Amino acid sequence: MSGKAHLTDGEHGPAFTEGITTALNWLSILPVRGATTFDRITGTRVMASLPVVGVVFGVFTAVLLGVLGLIGVAPFLTAVLVVIMWELLNRMMHLDGLADVADALGSYAPPERAREILADPHTGLMGFSAVLFSLLAQVAAMAALIDSKAGWLVCFIPALSRLGGQVMARVGRTPLSPTGFGAMVVGTVRLWWVAAWLVALGAAAVGVAVGTGDVAVAWVVPVAGIVACVISEWAGRHFSRRFGGVNGDCIGAVIHLSAAVTAVFCAVAVAG
Q: What is the pLDDT of residue 119?
A: 92
Give Cα 88 distance to the centre of its chain: 14
Q: What is the pLDDT of residue 36?
A: 86
Alpha carbon separation from 10 to 13, 25, 192 (Å, rounded): 10, 18, 29
Instruction: Report the distance separating Cα 103 and Cα 114, nearest Å.
Output: 9
Closest listed residue to residue 248, CA positions, set 191, 173, 193: 173
How many Cβ atoms are within 10 Å of 99's Cβ, its own excluded?
27
Length of the chain, please?
272
Give Cα 170 distance to the centre of its chain: 14
Q: What is the pLDDT of residue 7?
A: 59
What predicted TM-score, i.e. pTM, was given to this entire model?
Answer: 0.94
Q: What is the pLDDT of residue 5?
A: 56
Return averaged pLDDT per consecutive 10 residues of the chain, 272 residues in all.
Answer: 59 90 96 90 96 98 97 97 97 95 95 94 94 98 95 97 97 92 94 98 96 91 97 97 95 97 97 82
